[in-house]
A and B are shown apart, each in its own frame.
Chain A
Amino acid sequence: MASETIALNRVNQDTRPIGDRLHDWVVTVDHKKLGILYILYALVFLVIGGIEATIMRIQLIVPHNHFVSPEVFNRMFTMHGTTMIFFVTMPILFGFGTYLIPLMIGTRDMAFPRLNALSFWLTAFGGLLLYYSFIGGSGLYGAGNAPDVGWFAYAPLTARAFSPGHSTDFWTLGLLVSGFGSIGTAVNFITTILCMRCSGMTLGKMPLLAWMNLVMAGMVILAVSPLTAAQMMLSIDRYLGGHFFDAQAGGSAVLWMHFFWIFGHPEVYVLVIPAFAFISEIIPVFSRKPIFGYPVMVAATVCIGFVSMSVWAHHMFTVGMSSYGNSFFVITTMIVGIPTGIKIFNWIGTMWGGKIQFKAPMLFCIAFLFQFLIAGLTGIMLSAAPFNWQLTASYFVVAHFHYMIVGGILFAVFGAFYYWFPKMSGRMYSETLAQWHFWLFLTGFHLTFDFMHIPGILGMPRRIYTYEPGRGWEIWNLIVTIGVVFQIAGVLVFVFNLLKSLVKGESAGSDPWDAWTLEWSTTSPPPEYNFAKIPVVMSRRPLWDIKHPEDPDWKYE
């Protein structure tokens, strides 16, 4: 029965005109299609955000460069930051979550499929709204301009007097709309994970990816909502003449900082926890061992979730909080290092004594471990308030958080791409090209972001559009920009590999990695209903149990 249905679907899909098939993608409520839409949408914005970063790096390659004007430079760093956080990293992680969670917990779709579609389109239109500012920023009568207030848009720079025109409004509305999308996705993730698990899958038998996305979704609920509220206040200030952040009428610019960072810091963990989830699924499979310390991993994730809600003001050590406030945020920030360290040891413990296969997904995970560790260590350095006073708003900070977001999260995302690409497309990627991608991107990443720390220590502030020669910054900026070339080359290889494999890749089969979670028990790509028969699981590695009936996991768990 099941195979007949699949065959029928295939025939239907191949014969219908392309318009109908595209129409399917627009009206779809299938979590797999929506997941792929999220990912493709994020990849488009990754290229746009990358171009913006490249423009900035070309401008800074030598002192007194005139590649772009200061105004354009301001727009570039604002759009780069906003795009990469809200319209690349979040949607790409939501995309993988949307695609994988129902498959991994053995169900046929998300809890609210239509809400799922609504969330995606809200996020998508939020991004379009932001980019429409390039055309409509001055209200269409001028040449138009994009927001230039920085990605955290401190007051009073966002007040009407200092940001005339509509560019800042597009920024606010874009984030407001995509914020509603994120909240919808988070509601869906939590409900799906709590209410839709297949028979036998207790919380303690859930794949770590589902656990970590559950924690991530909880953090989105508690962290993105404050941003939504703050954006409403900013809109009230700009449109209705309110005084929330208007110091002349008694309002407070520092309040905006608090509201923004109450969102902004947990957001970092919202982004990194799904990256942890990828690592926790990939490392065991390529080490041929079950994850080390599953309950501790879950506990550490929940712990990170809690502690990271109370660290936000470490972004604000220089605004003049009391010494008690400073001390509190120093301590909480340092405490986050403990559960994070536990995770790193658990991943190493998983690899220890395993038969490690150095395929592309695993290479990216191993690089993640090193780079994430270094990013965490510079984070501990910056969490010490006196050190922070010296280095805040310098290139050291820029290097630190790019180490986290590129060296940590983006590497994990690339690993996830290679790991689940066979499942999503039904075809294998080219391992040779993937290795080229890895080594090129690794070289580029380290050239750019290792050397970016140094001008920061030498005093180069972030967000300057040019600098004087003779301060010892030139050579470092030159190296940093050269690294970009390698990164671009790596990404081009990646895109070429994806496209080539989609057309010419070998058939992957349902389980190319000999993996253990439920998504590998169905065909690649999975049929619309995911599973012909809803699976029953007895352990954390249901496919291991099926493949090794003589020695199943449930005997030991």
Chain B
Amino acid sequence: MSSAAITRPSIEPDLVLPSRGRVGMFTLIAAETAIFTIFVVAYIFYIGKSVSGPLPEDVLELPIFNTVCLLSSSLTIHLAVKALRNAKVGAFGLSWFVTIALGVTFLVGTGREWQRLIFEKGLTISTNLFGTTYYSLVGLHAFHVTVGLILLAIGMVFALLGKVKQEHSERAEIFSLYWHFVDTVWVIVFTVVYVIGR
């Protein structure tokens, strides 16, 4: 630094650049947001346009328990990251595990909802416009939850092997951005599908 000061006019301090992981993840989230926006727009555009039943008001039930599970998983992953930042590896593992459990509960809940809709109500993706848009939007979200769960599970394996240390807290935090995003998308999906669309 001192040698540089001779040649440099030293008018500004050295650049502080943002972390690659964060910027990369935020950019990816922006792209994902655009994809979800198109699906949400299609859903809203097609509300009430189905020419045959079953219709959302007849078959959809509010997935309150599911929603509570998924949204609380945002809190638990936040606690996990915070614990890791403070080098509390045990607390990290516990919160991380609870996050996985809540995510799995959500997916199972979605699966049961779909089972009911398909086998009891006779609604499939090809039944009508509602079916097409509903399964696409909720399915796209469930796919993102699944990807998140796979990544969470990989993190859990490392945690169980004792490989997760304090210095990995930034990685955990960057992943948690993705998980928070998936939860935020659910708030929108819930509002559009179960509140406005019903």
Which residues of A are interface residues toward B (Cβ below 8 A)?
111-112, 183, 186-188, 190-191, 194-197, 199-202, 221-226, 228-230, 232-233, 236-237, 240-244, 249-252, 255, 259, 262, 536, 538, 554
Chain A hits for B9, CB < 8 A: 538, 554
Chain A hits for B128, CB < 8 A: 243, 249-250
Chain B hits for A554, CB < 8 A: 9
Q: Check if B125 sits within 8 Å of A191, measured CB to CB.
A: no
Most buried by A among B8, B9, B27, B31: B31
Q: Check if A242 sits within 8 Å of B125, measured CB to CB.
A: yes
A232 vs B36: C-alpha distance in the bound complex, in angstroms?
Answer: 11
A207 vs B133: C-alpha distance in the bound complex, in angstroms?
Answer: 45
What would be 12 A-B contacts, judged by CB atoms less than 8 Å apart?
Answer: A111-B24, A190-B23, A191-B24, A195-B23, A222-B30, A229-B36, A236-B125, A241-B126, A242-B136, A243-B128, A251-B46, A536-B8
Q: Check if B24 sits within 8 Å of A249, measured CB to CB.
A: no
Majority secondary structure, A binding face: helix
Q: For the complex formed, measure the closest distance between the CB of B129 and the CB atoms of chain A, giving whole angstroms.
A: 5
Q: Check if A233 sits within 8 Å of B24, measured CB to CB.
A: no
A554 vs B49: C-alpha distance in the bound complex, in angstroms?
Answer: 63
Q: Hey, what's the 0/1 contact readout for B99-136 against A, CB within 8 Å counting as 1?
A: 00000000000000000000000000110110011001
Q: For the complex formed, measure the closest distance between the CB of A264 and the CB atoms of chain B, giving whole angstroms.
A: 14
Q: For the complex formed, measure the closest distance between the CB of B46 and the CB atoms of chain A, giving whole angstroms.
A: 7
Chain B hits for A194, CB < 8 A: 17-18, 23
Asked whether A232 and B46 contact (CB < 8 A) given A111-B24, A191-B27, the answer is no
Q: For the complex formed, measure the closest distance between the CB of B31 and the CB atoms of chain A, giving whole angstroms.
A: 5
Contact of B129 among A111, A190, A191, A250 (CB under 8 A): A250
Asked whether A186 and B27 contact (CB < 8 A) given A201-B15, A250-B46, A251-B129, the answer is yes
B187 contacts A by Cβ under 8 Å: no
A538 vs B5: C-alpha distance in the bound complex, in angstroms?
Answer: 12
Q: Check if A187 sits within 8 Å of B24, measured CB to CB.
A: yes
Chain A hits for B42, CB < 8 A: 233, 244, 255, 259
Chain A hits for B17, CB < 8 A: 194-197
A252 vs B34: C-alpha distance in the bound complex, in angstroms?
Answer: 20
Q: A191-B20, A233-B42 are in contact. List 4 more A-B contacts (CB 8 A).
A: A111-B24, A187-B31, A195-B17, A230-B38
Q: Check if B18 sits within 8 Å of A195, measured CB to CB.
A: yes
Chain A hits for B125, CB < 8 A: 236, 240-242
Chain B hits for A225, CB < 8 A: 31-35, 38
Chain B hits for A222, CB < 8 A: 30-31, 34
Q: Check if B34 sits within 8 Å of A229, measured CB to CB.
A: yes
Chain A hits for B67, CB < 8 A: none
Chain A hits for B27, CB < 8 A: 186-187, 190-191, 221
Asked whether A536 and B4 contact (CB < 8 A) given A111-B24, A196-B20, A242-B126, the answer is yes
A227: nearest chain-B partner, CB-CB:
B38
Q: Check if B129 sits within 8 Å of A229, measured CB to CB.
A: no
Q: For the complex formed, measure the closest distance between the CB of A204 and the CB atoms of chain B, giving whole angstroms.
A: 10
Q: Check if B132 sits within 8 Å of A244, measured CB to CB.
A: yes
Chain A hits for B52, CB < 8 A: 249
A554 vs B19: C-alpha distance in the bound complex, in angstroms?
Answer: 28
Interface residues of B in 28-58 (CB under 8 A from A): 28, 30-39, 42, 45-46, 49-52
A183 vs B30: C-alpha distance in the bound complex, in angstroms?
Answer: 10
Contact of B15 among A200, A233, A237 (CB under 8 A): A200
